[in-house]
Chain A
Amino acid sequence: MKILIIGGGMGGTILANNLARRLTPELRSGKVKITMLTASEKHMYQPGLLYLAFGRVTPDELYKDQASLLEPGITLVVDPVEEFMLDDNRVKTKSGKTFDYDVLAIATGSRPVPELIPGLAEHSHTFYTEETALKMFHALRAFEGGRVVIAMGVPHKCPMAPLEITFMLHDYFKDRGMSDKVQLHYTYPIGRVHSLENVAKWAAPEFDRLGITYETLFNLKEVDGAAKVIRGEEGGETPYDLLISIPAHRGMEVIEKNKLGAGGWIPTNRQQLNMEGRSNVFILGDTTNIPISKAGSTAHFQADTLGENIAALYKLGAPVRDYDGKVFCFIEAGKDRATYAMFDYLNPPDPKPPTKAVHWFKMAYNKLYWISARGLL
């Protein structure tokens, strides 16, 4: 059996390692082959970018060699896919090579697209890439006070990021003795401060307690950099001195170019994670069109499910479990307190009051991630 995994992010890496452990004898005997095609020889811990924006980690801490994360027996090829020929069970890479498969897993992820909102890329700071997070770090250091507005596009990767950046900005300016010079103003696309009702019920009083103002039903339409104003699709506008954005995301361009799914999101069965209409093509992580959080934990839990199911396909001839929609998100509530939200398709989260213990567990997880990517945690 030839298993081909497209994408070396969290989902693809955990899946490859999970499969390699379950199929070690078969890999050694050559009955099974696992190949990963990826765009970079480096693997980035993306959640670390939030801390980079505050100078709490440095860029080198966010990367490891992709090859160092993979189990022996997995073939790693740094050569991104450009063409999917699903009817022929084959893909073609940038270098012109073709790879055929019996089972394909697509985990190409998503990308921020600030350019979809006029003025956003030029006039806002964000932390979704190393380059922009570093730029934001320097902008925060240089900021002398005024109105800081947090605004976002839809959909966006990491649903907790809007809250986390806001609480962390509050503590950042407080520690610099600038609380009386800075007004934080939070905007959100729907009629409460977070999509998860119980998280919103916790966060709104926290904003009130900290003096953070907010407005809801605000979807970014444009940024007027000259007037220093953002305008919403709902007709409202709000001024800013410093604009922090969580840009809208799209799936990767290669997905759209190959017409696998509008917006780069591939239609995916929400339990079995197969591409709609294809029994040997599986989708995981941000790449799916499943209406759940685009978050690392989603990719992780889906990779666990697929690892078990693809191994079972080989050994038993059928999958053995469903993905239940499980998501786990830490929520940084400032510089040294955190809580979390865990939920699935049937059960909403019930976040507890933030504690220092959960924050320190998150700090530990930032290091443990590399064990997680290897499929050991």
Chain B
Amino acid sequence: MAEKKVIDARGSFCPGPLMELIGWIKLADIGDELELLSSDKGSAEDVPEWVKKVGHEYLGSREEAGVWHIMVKKTK
């Protein structure tokens, strides 16, 4: 059964939010939704770029109090 997982990468300079997502998405099951929390505004651009390039589904993002919530669905 698909799950929804939160990856809290706030304050992560290294490995950083995108690398955190790349690592955790490998552990997820196909169909799982992952919500990446990032305090780096660059994540709002580089995460969707990578997700689309690899072929997962980008579900959208929103910013709340300086934290970007980026939603991704593992599709493969």
Contacts and interface: CB of A to CB of B under 8 A. Distances in A.
Interface size class of B (residues with CB under 8 A): 20 to 34
Contacts, number: 76
A291 B22 contact: no
A197 to B, nearest CB: 8
A239 interface: no
A302 interface: no
A263 B49 contact: no
A155 B14 CA distance: 11
A142 to B, nearest CB: 33
Interface size class of A (residues with CB under 8 A): 20 to 34
B18 A325 contact: no
Contacts of B16: 190, 195-196, 291
Contacts of A262: 27
A235 interface: yes
Interface in A150-202: 154-155, 159, 189-191, 195-197
Given A154-B19, A190-B46, A217 B53 contact: yes
Contact of B19 (A195, A197, A349): A195
Interface of A: 116, 154-155, 159, 189-191, 195-197, 217, 219, 233-235, 248, 262-263, 270, 291-293, 325, 327, 341, 343, 345-346, 348-349
21 contacts: A154-B22, A189-B18, A189-B22, A190-B19, A190-B46, A190-B50, A191-B18, A191-B46, A191-B50, A196-B13, A196-B14, A217-B50, A233-B54, A234-B50, A262-B27, A291-B10, A292-B12, A293-B14, A293-B15, A343-B13, A345-B11
